[in-house]
Structure 1
Amino acid sequence: MNPRHHLDPATVLSHAAGALLPELAAIVATHLEGCAACRDAVARAERVGGQLIEQQHPQPALEDRARQLRAAMLERLDATPPAPVRASQPQGRDPDRIPAPLQPYFGASYRELKWRWMGPGMHFIRRPGPSGASLLMLRIAPGKRMPVHSHGGSEITQILSGAYDDALGHFAAGDVADLDSEIEHQPVTTAGVPCICVSALDAPLRFPGWLARRLQPVFGI
C-alpha cells in the first residue's frame, strides 16, 4: 500500500500533540497503519515538540542522569553479543479484519457489520463518539454518485477498499481525505469493487440539494 493522499500538516501537528478529538484520532491512526510518510511526519513533529518542551522547561539534574543511564546502556550493549537473526514470516493482511483503531467503534470483522440502507447501492453505519463527534462508515457500490456536500467542520476520511474520484483527485485504498469547511465535493465511486471508507465528522455535513437536506435528519449525518 502506497498512499498518494496524506494528512494535512495541521492534523499531523495536532495528532503529535495529542490535541485531536478521539474520533478524528482513530481515523488518523488507521491511516498511519499503512502510510510510512505520515508516520515519519508524526515522528518529526513529536521530536520537535519534545525539543521545545525541553527548551521551555530545562531540568539539568534529570538531563545529567539521563546521559549517565544512556552511557551505561551503550556500554552494556557493546559487551553483549548480538542475538541471532531469525527470518520473519511474511504475514498477509486479513481482508475481513477491520483496522485496530476502528475496532472499538465497529468491531473486528467486516462480515459482522450491520449496514443500514441509505439509497440504491449505498449503505452506512454511524457511531457517535464520546466527544460528540461521530464516525461514519460507508459502503458504496461501483459507479455511484454521492450527493454534493460540504462540511460544517472537519472531516477526515480513510479509504479502506475500492476507490472514488472527486474534484480533489483519485482516492484509493490507503488514501486519506483531510478536508475542512471550505471544501465542497461530490465523490463518484470507480468501477470494480464497492468503495468502503470511514469518516470522522465533528459537525454535520452541508447539502445544497433539498432532497439530501430533507433526509439528513433521518440518517443523522
Structure 2
Amino acid sequence: MMPIHHLDSATLVSHAAGALSPELAAVAATHLGVCAHCRRLLADAERVGGALLQQQQPATQDSGSASRLRQDMLARMQAPLPASSDAAPKPTTQHAADQLPRPLQPYFGKAWKDLRWRWMAPGVHMIRAARTSGDTLILLKIAPGKSMPVHSHQGSELTQILRGAYDDALGHFGPGDIADLDADVEHQPVTSPGVPCICVAALDGPLRFRGWLARKLQPMVGL
C-alpha cells in the first residue's frame, strides 16, 4: 500500500496541535497508520511547532502571534524531506486483515465481518457512527462502476480509501489514499470496476449537491 494522495500540510499542523475534531482526527490517524510520508511530515510539524513555541515570548500568545506561528510552521514544512528510511510494511496476517483500522474501532467496532451496512441508494450502503462530537463520521460501501452525485462541500471533508478505488477530477484514489477536501472542491467520484469501494469519511459541514434529485434526498441520508 503506497499512498499517492496525502493529507494537506494545514491539516497535519491542525492534527499536531490537537485542533481537529475527533471525527476528522480519526480519519487522519487512519491515513497516518499507512502513510510513512505523512508520518514524517507530522513529526516535522510537531518538532517545528515545539521549537517555535519555546522561542515565542511572552508565553501567553495573542491570536496574531498564534497565526504567525501557524504560518511559520506551514512554511517550514514545505522544505524537502530526506529520503525515507522506513522499513517495508510487514505482511498482513489473516486475523489482522479482518480488523478495522484501530482509530475507527471506537466508532464502528473491531471486525469487518461484524459491520451492519444500511442501504442508502442503489449500490450504496452506509454506516453512520453513533457517538460523535457533532461532526459526521461514516463508512461508505459503493458498488463497482457507480457514479456518485456531483457535489461540493460546505466545510472540510477527509475521505480515506480502505478497499477498492474511485476516480474523480482530482485523480485515482486507491487503498491508503486520502482526499483532503474543502469548500473550493467540486467532484463526482466514480468507483473502479472489480470490487466495491469502501471508504471512511468525516465531514464538519453538509455537502452541496448540484442535482435537484440529490438535494431532494439529502435530508433522508443526512449528508
Normalised by the size of structure 1, how large is the TM-score? 0.83
Q: Deviations over 1:1-38 (max 9, x none)?
A: 11000001100111111111111000000000000000
More displaced stretch, 28-37 vs 93-102: 93-102
More displaced stretch, 143-152 vs 127-136: 127-136
State the distance in 1 between where 2:152 and 2:175 align: 22
Give the letter aligned to residue 92 of structure 1: T
- Structure 2 counterpart of 1:138: 140
More displaced stretch, 202-211 vs 127-136: 127-136
* Contact 1:129 1:135 (8 Å CA) reproduced: no
- Structure 1 counterpart of 2:66: none
Counterpart pick for 1:185 among 184, 187, 195: 187
How much identity, in percent, do the aligned residues show?
Answer: 65
Q: Quick check: 1:214 aligned with 2:216?
A: yes
Shift of 1:128: 4.9
- Structure 1 counterpart of 2:123: 121
Counterpart pick for 1:102 among 101, 104, 109: 104
State the distance in 1 between where 2:174 and 2:98 align: 18
State the distance in 2 between where 1:128 and 1:21 align: 15
State the distance in 2 between where 1:129 and 1:205 align: 21
More displaced stretch, 49-58 vs 159-168: 49-58
Normalised by the size of structure 2, how large is the TM-score? 0.82
- Structure 1 counterpart of 2:8: 8
- Structure 2 counterpart of 1:43: 43
CA RMSD across the alignment: 1.5
State the distance in 1 between where 2:27 and 2:141 align: 16
State the distance in 1 between where 2:30 and 2:151 align: 24
- Structure 1 counterpart of 2:92: 92
Q: What SS does structure 2 have at the residue aligned with 1:206? A: strand
Q: What SS does structure 2 have at the residue aligned with 1:183? A: coil
* Contact 1:118 1:124 (8 Å CA) reproduced: yes
Gaps of 5+ in 1: 60-89
Gaps of 5+ in 2: 60-89
Shift of 1:130: 3.5
Q: Quick check: 1:25 aligned with 2:43?
A: no
Larger Rg: 1
Q: Is the alpha carbon distance of 1:58 and 1:183 closer, same or farther for their aligned partners in structure 2, counting shifts above 3 Å?
A: closer
State the distance in 1 between where 2:92 and 2:139 align: 24
Give the letter aligned to residue 4 of structure 1: I
State the distance in 2 between where 1:57 and 1:17 align: 19
Shift of 1:181: 0.6
Q: What SS does structure 2 have at the residue aligned with 1:34? A: coil
Shift of 1:91: 5.0
State the distance in 2 between where 1:219 and 1:110 align: 22
